[in-house]
Amino acid sequence: MGEHSVGRWRRTGLAVLSALGGYFFVASLVLSAAMPFRYAIPMVGRVSYPPELVILGLVTLFGSAAAAAVAYAYGGLRAFTVVAALDVLVAVTVIAPVAAQPFAWAPLPPDIDGFTTASVLLASTLALVPGLLAGLLIGRVVPRRESWITPLAAAGAYEVVCVAMSLQTPQLDLRMALPYSGSILTDGWRAAVVAFPAVATGLALGARRASLRSTVLSAAAIGIAGALPGELSGTVLILSPYIPTAIVGVPIATIVVAIATVLAVRRIPAGAIGSLTATPLRVSVL
C-alpha cells in the first residue's frame, strides 16, 4: 500500500473517531433533554412499550446525523461509509437477539425496565436512515474547522472506551452504553468508568499535541457530557433530596487524568506516537 493511500486511511480513521465524538456530544444533549421527562411521553398506538424507546429513537436519529455530518465533512465518502456501517452494526446488535420472533414480547436491556416487541425495537433503530441522510446533507455545508477535530477526536476516544467497557453487559443496547448507564454501577466501577475513558481522552489530546488550555476545555466538556444525563434525571425524578455531585466531580476527575496523560505523552518523541490522531487533517471527498 502506497504512502498516499496509507495517509488517506489515517485521515479517514481520524474523521471516524471525530464522528464518534460528535455522536457522543449529541447523544448526551438528547438524553439530557428527554430523560428527566420520559414518564410524560405518551404511549403510542396499541403497543405497550417503555417511553425510553422513544428517547432511544431520538438518540439514533440525531446521533447518527451528527456522526454522519462530521464524518463526511472531514473524511469524505469513505469516512461516511464507515460510520454508516457502524450504525447498521449497532442496529443489528439491538435486533438480532429477538429477530426470530418479531411479534413476541422480548426483554429489554437492563438499563430499560419492562418488556416490548422486537418490532418496536426495530422501529427505534430505523431512525438511523433519515439520520444518515440528513447528516450527509449537513456534512456538505458544515464549516470544516481544523480546531474542532482535536476535541471531537478526544470525545470519540472516550466513547470507544466506554462502549468497550459496556460489552460485558447482558442484552446491551449500545445506544445506552456507558457512561449513560453508569448510575447502576458500584463505586469501584464508577471510578473505572471515569478513569479509563479519561486516559483515552488524554492519549488522543496528547497525540494531537493539544495545549493544556485545550486539554482542560475538552476534558471538561467531555466530563460534563458524560455526567449530565444521569444527574439531570436524578435531580428531576428522585423524590428524596438529591445532590448532583457527579456533574462537578466527573469533569474535574476527567481534567486531572487527561492532563496527567497529556503530560506523559509529551515526554514521548513525536515520531514514536501513533500516527492516527497525530495526522494533520485534509478534507478528502472520494
| 260-284 tens-digit pLDDT | 999 999 888 765 555 444 444 444 3
Q: What is the pLDDT of residue 238?
A: 59
Give the up-direction half-sphere exposure of residue 184: CA atoms within 13 A in the CB hemisphere: 12
Domain for residue 68, yes or no? yes
Domain for residue 286, yes or no? no
Nearest partner of 153 among 6, 250, 253, 278, judged by Cα:
278
Cβ–Cβ contacts within 10 Å for residue 239, how many?
A: 5
Burial 263-275 (b: 16+ CB within 10 A, else e): eebeeeeeeebee
Domain for residue 226, yes or no? yes
Q: What is the pLDDT of residue 284?
A: 39
Per the structure, how many domains does the chain have? 1
- Given a cut of 50, the residues of the chain with pLDDT beneath it are 45-46, 275-286
- DSSP assignment letter at 38: G
Nearest partner of 51 among 110, 134, 3, 112, judged by Cα:
112
Domain for residue 124, yes or no? yes
Q: What is the pLDDT of residue 281?
A: 46
- Domain of residue 205, residue span: 3-278
3-class secondary-structure state, position 13? helix
Domain for residue 119, yes or no? yes
Domain for residue 213, yes or no? yes
Domain for residue 182, yes or no? yes
* Contact status, residue 30 vs residue 55, Cβ threshold 8 Å: yes
Residues found in the chain = 286
Quick one: which H or E segment has residue 116? strand 115-117
Q: What is the pLDDT of residue 46?
A: 46
Take residue 252 and report the three cell numbers written for it: 474535574
